[in-house]
Homo-oligomer: A and B are copies of this chain.
Amino acid sequence: MKTDRETTVGILGERGSFDHQAARDLVGEGVGVRIEPNPELLVAALERGDLDRMVLPIENAVTGSIHENYDRLRRHALWIAGETQVTLRYSLVARPGASLASVRRVAATLAALTHCQRFFEQRPHLEPVVTAEAGVSLLQRDGPVTLAALVPCFLARWSGASVLIEEVGDDTGNATRYLLLAARPVVLEHADKTSLLFVLRNAPGALFRALGAFASRGLDLTKIESRPLRGRPWEYAFYLDVLGDPRGPVRAALEELGRMSQELRVLGSYPEGLRRGADREAV
Residues of A within 8 A of B (CB): 59-65, 67, 85, 171, 173-175, 177, 200, 202-209, 211-212, 214-215, 218-228, 230-236, 274, 276, 279-283
Q: Are A228 and B282 in contact (CB under 8 A)?
A: no
List 16 A-B residue pairs with CB atoms under 8 Å apart, sorted by A's residue number. A59-B234, A62-B228, A67-B67, A173-B231, A177-B234, A202-B281, A204-B215, A204-B282, A208-B212, A208-B215, A208-B221, A209-B215, A223-B226, A223-B236, A224-B224, A225-B226
Q: In chain B, what residue has the closest Cβ to A61?
A: B233
Q: A276 to chain B: closest CB distance in Å?
A: 6
- Chain B residues near A206: list those with CB within 8 A: 282-283
Partner of A231, one of B63, B85, B171: B171
Query: Which of B173, B202, B230, B279 interacts with A282 by CB under 8 Å?
Result: B202
When chains A and B are docked, how far (Å) is the Cα of A224 from the Cα of B238? 10
Q: How many copies does the complex hold?
A: 2
A219 to B208, CA, bound (A): 11
Among B205, B214, B223, B274, the residue within 8 A (CB) of A215 is: B205
- Closest beta carbon of chain B to A69's beta carbon, Å: 13
Q: Closest residue of chain B to A227, judged by CB?
A: B64
Report chain B residues within 8 Å CB of A274.
234
How far does the alpha carbon of A223 sit from the alpha carbon of B236 in the complex, in Å? 9
**Which residue of the partner chain, among B208, B226, B228, contacts A61 with CB atoms under 8 Å?**
B228
The 9 A-B pairs at the shortest CB distance, nearest first, are namely A61-B233, A208-B215, A205-B215, A208-B211, A235-B281, A204-B282, A204-B220, A207-B283, A64-B228
Determine whether the beta carbon of B202 is less than 8 Å from that of A232. Answer: no
Task: Among B171, B177, B281, point to the contact of A236 (Cβ < 8 A).
Answer: B281
